[in-house]
């Protein structure tokens, strides 16, 4: 599920908890990146948005050109602005998911859930396991296509009443959910 170094090492040094396969793989108290497919899914969303916004801005440009609304220099300027806008948006759509993915880590262990996120403003959100009220695992259409899911952890808190992890593989999300909710099988030692 995770093709990462930390994951492989975790499997080697696993037997600390006698829990079957997939649950232990994620709840090992190590930092894991999210599923790389999420980058692809996010990029597709970004491209769609780029296409939509680019097309919406196009009529003004084309009409301005054909109907002679603006002076020629403004036409060129608007054209350049459009190219810059669509180019920038496209570049961001391409680049940002990767950056985000690189700075997002999840750690699940006996203490609870920790989430590293943020590219410029970096945050670590820690939720003790016993404070998890309930969890949701949701899948959008794109996420379904790539076997991904969004895990939402609800606490009784205020600002972090809802902690969302978008981009776990569906199986992992379910495993994390099971681990966080089933507290009897391997409680805090």
Site residues for another protein per CB under 8 A:
110-112, 114, 118, 120-131, 155-161, 163, 188
Q: Which is nearer to another protein, 102 or 145 (CB)?
A: 102
Task: Report the DSSP pairing between strands 162-169 and 134-138.
Answer: unpaired
CB of 113 to another protein, least distance (A): 9
Report the 10 Å Cβ neighbour count for 135: 19
In a 10 Å sphere around its CB, with 0-12 CB exposed, 13-18 middle and 19+ buried, how is residue 189 labelled? exposed
> CA dist 158 to 39, 52, 123, 127, 163, Å?
30, 36, 17, 13, 11
CA-CA distance, 34 to 6, in Å (whole number)? 12
Nearer to another protein, 148 or 176 (CB): 176
Minimum Å gap between C-beta 80 and another protein is 30
Rounded-to-integer distance, Cα 89 and Cα 78, Å: 16
User: Which residue, among 91, 55, 61, has the nearest Cα to 74 in the 3D structure?
Assistant: 61
Shortest distance in whole angstroms from residue 43 CB to another protein:
25
Instruction: Name which of 68 and 185 has its Cβ closer to another protein.
Output: 185
CB of 159 to another protein, least distance (A): 5
CA nearest 131: which of 150, 149, 106, 114?
114
Nearer to another protein, 11 or 185 (CB): 185
Q: Which residue has the tokens 């998911």?
A: 97
Our CB check for another protein shows the closer of 87 and 157 to be 157
CB of 27 to another protein, least distance (A): 14
């Amino acid at each position: 599920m995770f093709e990462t170094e930390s994951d492989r090492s975790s499997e080697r040094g696993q037997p600390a908890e006698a829990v079957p396969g997939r649950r232990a793989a994620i709840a090992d108290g190590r930092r894991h990146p999210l599923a790389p497919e999420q980058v692809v899914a996010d990029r597709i969303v970004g491209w769609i948005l780029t296409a939509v916004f680019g097309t919406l801005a196009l009529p003004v440009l084309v009409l301005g050109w054909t109907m002679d609304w603006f002076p020629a220099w403004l036409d060129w300027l608007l054209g350049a602005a459009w190219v810059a806008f669509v180019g920038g948006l496209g570049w961001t759509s391409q680049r940002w998911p990767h950056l985000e993915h690189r700075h997002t880590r999840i750690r699940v262990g006996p203490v609870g859930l920790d989430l590293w996120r943020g590219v410029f403003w970096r945050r670590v959100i820690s939720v003790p396991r016993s404070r998890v009220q309930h969890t949701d695992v949701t899948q959008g259409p794109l996420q379904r296509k790539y076997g991904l899911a969004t895990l939402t952890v609800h606490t009784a808190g205020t600002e972090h009443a809802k902690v969302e992890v978008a981009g776990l593989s569906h199986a992992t999300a379910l495993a994390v959910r099971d681990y966080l909710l089933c507290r009897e099988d391997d409680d805090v030692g």
